[in-house]
Structure 1
């Protein structure tokens, strides 16, 4: 009889690692042995060329920071203005951080986490919160990401927290864990509800409004996911120090040799896509 592979505790919460697409091409995945206090999914680059990664991430930077109407307006201005005039027009209008490396690092972590979990779970980011940032050079308040089962809003919600550190540290891991305690409920549901209403998705907005009550009554399960992007050995910090009483918490690590360069190159390419 063929051996049946047992689903890992991580996969029960955040789905199996994608078997096709960019995340399959990009990441080698290992669901490390679990304990009562540790569920860790380790991601490393399996060899996808840096150019392909930057192309993917720069596209997602635009997607998460600007609406299709904003991007269309920029393209229209690009066609009717001379290069110098277009550069002047874009002063202060670039829809993502170009000055704050700290904000870039945080935003890219949120983007990778949101896109990865969408691929592994099938849940959706109903609202791209970075579309609504009043100060693009500063991080937004609220939950880093919230994902929903669009066809059954009450069934499940994923709440995510992303951290970036050029060099791994236990403190950043501790910050992730403390942000994702079972007592910590999503604080951005009203924001999502209001944005959906503005978008004309009234039925979805009403379902999120109902979800707010269910969350507080513990009727809708929450999956908590931390994402730690750092150096190639970040997984060692998680394996050694991850301790949480939250049974529904998974921490995903993404370690690479030069994480800051990936952030810098991805935002530089996104800027080039806007300006050229």
Structure 2
């Protein structure tokens, strides 16, 4: 009889690692041995060419930061204005992409986490919150990532927190764990509800409104996901120190040799796409 592979505890919560597409090409995945207090998905770079990775991430940076209608207006202005005038227009109306490296690091982590979970769970980011950031040089307040089952938002929600450290630290891991306890419910649902209503998605907005009360009554399960992007030995810190009372928490780590460089390259490429 053929042996049936048992699903990992991580896969039960956030789905199997994608078996095709960019995340399959990019990440080597290992769901390490799970305990009640430690559920860790370890991601490392398979060796995807840097150009391909930067091309993917720079496009996702634009997707998450700029609504399609706004991007179309920018492209129209670019055609109308001369290069110098267009730069002045961008500086005056939208200093984009983000110039603060601290904010870049945080935003890219949120983007990777949101896109990865969308691929592994088939849940959706109903609202791209960075579209609505009034100050692009500062991180937005509220939950980093919220994903929903669009056809039945009451069935499940994923709440995510992303951290970047050029050099791994136990403190950052502790911060993830403390921000993703079962006592911490999503605080951005009203924001999501309002944005959906503004987009004309009245039915979905009503569902989110109902979800708020369901969460307080513990009727809708929450999966908590921490994403930690850091140096190549990050996984050792997580394996040694991850311990949470939240049985629905998965920490996804992404380790690479020079994590800061991919952030810089990706935002530089996004800027060239806008300004070039």
Answer whether contact 1:43 1:254 (CA < 8 A) is retained. yes
Deviations 1:9-32 (A, max 9, x none): 000000000000000000000000
**Alpha-carbon distance, 1:118 to partner:** 0.1
Tell me by how many angstroms 1:94 deviates: 3.9
- Determine the C-alpha separation between the residues in 2 that align with 1:84 and 1:33: 56
Identify the residue that residue 13 of structure 1 maps to in structure 2.
13
Equivalent position of 1:157 in the other structure? 157
Contact preservation (8 Å) 1:66, 1:95: no
Say whether 1:55 aligns with 2:49.
Answer: no
Deviation of 1:90 after TM superposition, in Å, equals 1.0
Paired residue for 1:121? 121
* 2:109 corresponds to 1:109: yes
CA RMSD of aligned residues (A): 0.8
The count of aligned residue pairs is 276
Report Cα offsets for 1:185-222 as digits up to 9, x if no partner. Answer: 00000000000000000000000000000000000000
> Larger deviation: 95-104 or 129-138?
95-104
User: TM-score scaled by structure 1?
Assistant: 0.99
Q: Secondary structure at the match of 1:28?
A: strand
In the TM superposition, what are the counterparts of 1:185-196 in structure 2 within 5 Å?
A: 185-196=185-196
CA distance in 2: counterparts of 1:98 and 1:217, whole angstroms: 39
Q: Secondary structure, in 3 states, of the residue corresponding to 1:7?
A: coil
Classify the secondary structure of the residue corresponding to 1:150. Answer: coil
User: How far, CA to CA, are the matches of 2:85 and 2:96 in structure 1?
Assistant: 20
Query: Given the two structures, how large is their TM-score scaled by the length of structure 2?
Result: 0.99
The Cα of 1:97 is off from its aligned counterpart by 4.4
Moved more, 97-106 or 163-172: 97-106
1:215 partner SS? helix
1:103-123: per-residue Cα shift (whole Å, max 9, x none)? 000000000000000000000
Unaligned runs of 5+ residues in structure 1 are: none
**Does structure 1 retain, via aligned residues, the 8 Å contact 2:182–2:246?**
yes
Q: Distance in 2 between matches of 1:94 and 1:275?
A: 12
Deviation at 1:149? 0.2
List 4+ stretches of structure 1 deviating above 6 A: none
User: How far apart, CA to CA, are the structure 1 residues paired with 2:234 and 2:136?
Assistant: 28
The CA distance in 1 between the partners of 2:202 and 2:229, in whole Å, is: 36
Paired position in structure 1 for 2:216: 216
